[in-house]
Amino acid sequence: MATEEIITIKGLRKNYGVKEVLKGIDLHVSRGEIIGYIGPNGAGKSTTVKIILGIESYNEGEVKLFGKEINQDSIEYKRRIGYVPEIAEVYDNLTAYEYLTFIGQLYGMNADFVDQKAQRLMELFGIGEVYHSRISSYSKGMRQKLLIISSVLHNPDILFLDEPINGLDANSVMIFKEILAQLASSGKTIFYSSHIMDVVEKISSRIILLNEGKIVVDGSFKELQTQNEQGSLEGIFNQLTGFHNHREIGESFVSVVQEVQS
Ligand SMILES: Nc1ncnc2c1ncn2[C@@H]1O[C@H](COP(=O)(O)OP(=O)(O)OP(=O)(O)O)[C@@H](O)[C@H]1O
C-alpha cells in the first residue's frame, strides 16, 4: 500500500523584506512519521511551520497539507492540526477547565465531552488537582502540560510541536516521549522542532536539518551517523553547521564578563 503523504512542500521561498529566510525548500512527509526539525537559531524552522499552518505567507513554491493546497481549504484542514507554539499566549485569568472547554468548543466539540476528556488528560499528566485553578497560578511545567493537552484535545492528525518539553521534569518528559511514540504508531504525524538534541535523536524517525534557509540533511539518525564522523546528533549538528569554536567563544565571553573598570 502506498504511504499517504501528509506534507508536501516544493520550492518554498520566503523573504522578510530583503532578507531571504527560506531559499527553496522541498519536503515530503508521510503519515506516521516523527520529523525532528532542527537547525541553528534563525535558520527558518518556525517560519516553515507557520507557513504550513497558514499563519504566515510565502513568496514562492507549493505547500500542501493532507494533499490539498493550504490556501484552498483553510478551515477544514485546521481542524486536523494540533500546535504547541514555542511562546504561547494563554488566558491567564481562566482556569484550565474554562480554557480547555473553550478551546474544545472552538473545534466544534461538545462542552461536557471536552470537560471529561480534558480532566482525564490533566489527571494522567499529573496536574488534575489544578484543573479548577487559575492558569496564572501554574508553574512553568504545568503551563506547558496544559498547552500540550490543548493541542491534542480534538484528536488531530498532525501535531506541530515547537520546544514542547520546555519546563517539563524528567518523568514528564518520559511520559511525553511515550505519548509521541504511541500517537505516531496510531498513524498521527508529528513535526517536532527543538534544540534538545538528545531527545530529538531518540524520538525522531527522521531528522531534517535546516541551515541558512536550506535543508542540508534529511534522514534517520542511523543514516546520519553513517554519513558523518560524529556519533551524537549534537556532534553531527556542529559538524554540518560548520561550528567548531565553542571553546574560544566561551573563553572570550568569560573574559569579557570578568573585565573590571579601571
Ligand atoms: N515577522 C518577522 N519579520 C522579520 N523577520 C522575521 C520575522 N519572523 C522571523 N524573521 C526572521 O526570519 C529568520 C528565521 O526566523 P525563524 O523564527 O523561522 O527561525 P528559527 O529557525 O525558528 O529560529 P530559533 O531556533 O531561534 O527559534 C530570522 O532571521 C528572523 O529574524
Query: pLDDT tens across 167-222, in order?
Result: 999 999 999 999 999 999 999 999 999 888 888 999 999 999 999 999 999 999 88
The CATH architecture that domain 3-85+157-254 belongs to is 3-Layer(aba) Sandwich (3.40)
Dihedral of the CA atoms 47, 48, 54, 60 (nearest 10)? Answer: 100
Beta bridge partners of 158: 81, 189
Entry pTM: 0.91
Q: Distance from the CA of 149 to the center of ligand 1, in angstroms?
A: 26
Q: Distance from the CA of 45 to the center of ligand 1, in angstroms?
A: 8
Residue 39 beta carbon below 6 angstroms from any ligand 1 atom? yes
Report how far apart, in Å, the C-alpha atoms of 258 and of each of 245, 252, 254, 261 are: 20, 10, 6, 10
Angstrom distance (rounded) from CA 247 to CA 253? 10
Angstrom distance (rounded) from CA 162 to CA 196? 11
Which ipTM value was assigned to this complex? 0.97
- For ligand 1, atom 9, which residue shows the shortest CA distance? 47
Answer for the pair 159, 147: CB distance below 8 angstroms, yes or no: no
Q: Distance from the CA of 21 to the center of ligand 1, in angstroms?
A: 8
Angstrom distance (rounded) from CA 150 to CA 81? 11
Atom of ligand 1 nearest to the CA of 44: 18
Residue range 233-245: mean pLDDT, rounded? 83
Query: pLDDT tens across 147-159, in order?
Result: 999 999 999 999 9
Does residue 163 register a pLDDT over 80? yes
Atom of ligand 1 nearest to the CA of 213: 14
